[in-house]
Amino acid sequence: MTTISSLPPELLQHIFDAIVDAWEEQPGRRWSSLMTFHANIRLVDRTWNTTALHTSSIWRNIPLHRGFVYYAKFCLAHSGGQGLNVQASLSGAFWDAIKEDQARRIRTLEVEDKEAYRDWMTILLALPINGLERLSLNSLCSSWEEPLTLLARNKNLRELEITRFFHQPLVPTSSRAHPALPSLKKLKITDWAQETQSVLSSFSAPALETLHIAVNDEHRYGQRSRPMTLDDMDLFDAVKEITFQFAVMTGDVLALLRHTPNVEVLRLAHSWRFQIVFNELLEHLANPSAATVLAPRLRILSLHEWPIRMAAILGFARARLSRSRTSLSTVEGKRQRVLPMQCVELSERTILFYSQDDVARLQEVCEVRVWEPPAGEVR
């Protein structure tokens, strides 16, 4: 009887690859579990050890964190010509470990360092990092100039995430550069409103499909006097899904919808009561006298702990149904038929705020689904 320890190297390689692939898909993955897996398969016997060391694809994940630096260098040494997924919080270790040929192979880069931002940007710009497909910057950055330079180098970038939790004003780019990110499909920004405005207005993304805006709590640093203004933002006419979270104002949502005319899904989650109620938002979208209807292709509205009264939701759904039968909307010079609402999604916690009778009335107009936000996307 064949045991797993006697499997041929070719089959072992497939098993090792499958385990690493599954680890990469885990939402709360732990580097310690991957390191333990690598250590254990090398201890089985000589065949397993040799097979593991010659399977370069299982060494492509590189954790440059405190306590993992030696392990990260070992992974780099055995990664062959594989594209690399690098997660780093130590700028010094990154500079020491990543050589030019390895920098060219980085496909996913996640940087989290709140103290050494300037060191990070100096290092990232000094290396030939130009093959990124996914970039996540979680840091205390004060200038947008250097990150924009990095973005301009990476024409294959498909996903971009920018997170700043410290209220330090973001100095806008002083150059006239306005790079195009032709492959960008997904963008998430967690920042203060005016800084988010600066980022959104600094580049074009003709293929962008998903946009997630999480506005940080500005109560601690003074009231916002105005919503975001996005007059300098390019038209993102490929965007199909938008998510807003946290300290958001009605004007923020409307400003973005004016630049995303083909959005089909709007998700609103975790209002921090920065604005008491958002009835006015749906009234704007339902306005029967407006010549131009914002988001005429909107089909799905998702609410998760977001204060909107049922009367406003009903009014919006009914108005869209009525306009879909009788009118067209002009969007960027093109006449489009206004589409009726397909579905309103209410999270389990949100649906408790509405009576069963109100939900039943809404079901007469469109489908109502109980929606649970995906872990890690909408907290």
Tokens for 132, please give them.
């990124």
- Is 30 part of any domain? no
Mean pLDDT for 4-26 is 88
pLDDT band of 130, cuts 50, 70, 90: very high
- Is 116 part of any domain? no
241: which strand partners?
Answer: 210, 265
- Is 339 part of any domain? yes
pLDDT score, position 63: 94
- Is 319 part of any domain? yes
- Is 90 part of any domain? no
- Is 154 part of any domain? no
Q: Is the pLDDT of residue 1 over 50?
A: no
Closest residue by Cα to residue 103 from 136, 70, 125: 125
Considering its fold, how many domains does the chain have in total? 1
Phi (first) and psi of residue 363, to 5 degrees: -65, -20
Identify the CATH number of the domain in which residue 317 sits: 3.80.10
- Is 239 part of any domain? yes
Tokens for 271, please give them.
């209002």
Mean pLDDT for 225-243 is 86
pLDDT score, position 288: 62
Identify the weakest region by mean pLDDT among 30-39, 265-274, 313-322.
265-274
- Is 109 part of any domain? no
What DSSP character marks residue 143? B
Give me the half-sphere count of Cα atoms (radius 13 Å) on the Cβ side of residue 73: 9
Helix H or strand E segment including 74? helix 69-77
